[in-house]
Amino acid sequence: MLIPALDILDGQVVRLFKGDYGQVTRYGDDPGARFAAYAQAGARYLHLVDLSGARNAAERQWAALREVIGQSPLPLQVGGGVRCFEDVQQLLALGAERVVVGSLAIKHPALVAGWLDALGPEKLVLALDVRFDGHDWYPASHGWQEKAEQNLDSLLAYFMDAGARHFLITDIDRDGTLGGANAELYANLTRRYPGMALQASGGVASLAELPALKAAGVKGVILGKSLLDGKFTLEEALSCWQNA
């Protein structure tokens, strides 16, 4: 599945370069219209991130989230700065089909495992943003500034044992760069964890990458900057994915 994604910051559709709030590209102030266009083009699922809330919980864009989720013609997964179970409950109450949990899954895995037990595996997507340190892959949290104590494999094994199914893995050094997705990383993960529904994110720049990602066994590919910058259309991407 191809999943169009929008990040919103202070009410604007934006993309960050490698997660840097100092390197912002803006794409207008109507995320609802963009999601409607993606639905018309054939999307079946959408991804929404509240970057304001991710930066500061006090800046969470509840009004914008309520409007975009409420008007969405398709189911969404929503994330960005989820810090407590009440955040998860409120996003689900607004109509999100799944809530994306990132830093807390890295810093407090037992807490998030409890949420999985309470809600079931279909309501949460665990987002692990990872970087290769020269020896192994490690998740990073809090704006990618803090390296996790556990490596990626340890966290994945823990959460799979806890019943998690949906994971969104982003190669930090490729996110927002259009530098190409890391199909090799995803192929290794799906081979080692066959029960995982893996979503690939970060760096997709061309249609030529989609067959390799599909062959890697991913269940979803997040498409953000490539669609916003017109590298290809969603219709072209869907055709390429279906024929791969």
Report the alpha-carbon angle 114-116-119, nearest 5. 110
pLDDT of 176:
61
pLDDT of 110:
97
Report the alpha-carbon angle 16-19-21, nearest 5. 65
Which amino acid is present at 30? D
pLDDT of 177:
62
CA–CA gap between residue 80 and residue 53 (Å, rounded): 6
Percentage of the chain beyond pLDDT 90 is 78
Would you call 115 helix, strand, or coil by DSSP? helix
pLDDT of 147:
74
Of 82-91, 131-140, 143-152, 165-174, the least confident: 143-152
CA–CA gap between residue 244 and residue 51 (Å, rounded): 33
pLDDT of 7:
96
Domain boundaries, the chain: 2-243
Q: Tokens 């994915």, residue?
A: 241
Q: Please compute the mean of the pLDDT values over residues 163-175 and round it to a whole number.
A: 88
Q: Please compute the mean of the pLDDT values over residues 180-185 and round it to a whole number.
A: 89
Q: Pick from 67, 93, 56: which is nearest to 6 by CA?
A: 67
Percentage of the chain beyond pLDDT 70 is 96
pLDDT of 16:
87
pLDDT of 81:
86
The arrangement of secondary structure in 2-243, i.e. its CATH architecture, is Alpha-Beta Barrel (3.20)
Tell me, yes or no, if the pTM score tops 0.75.
yes
State yes or no: pLDDT of 178 exceeds 90: no
* Catalytically active residues, by annotation: 7, 129
Q: How confident is the model at residue 203 (pLDDT cuts 50, 70, 90)?
A: confident
pLDDT of 145:
61
Instruction: Let me know: does 199 contact 219? Beta carbons within 8 Å.
Output: yes
State yes or no: pLDDT of 18 exceeds 90: no
Query: How much is the mean pLDDT over the chain?
Result: 92
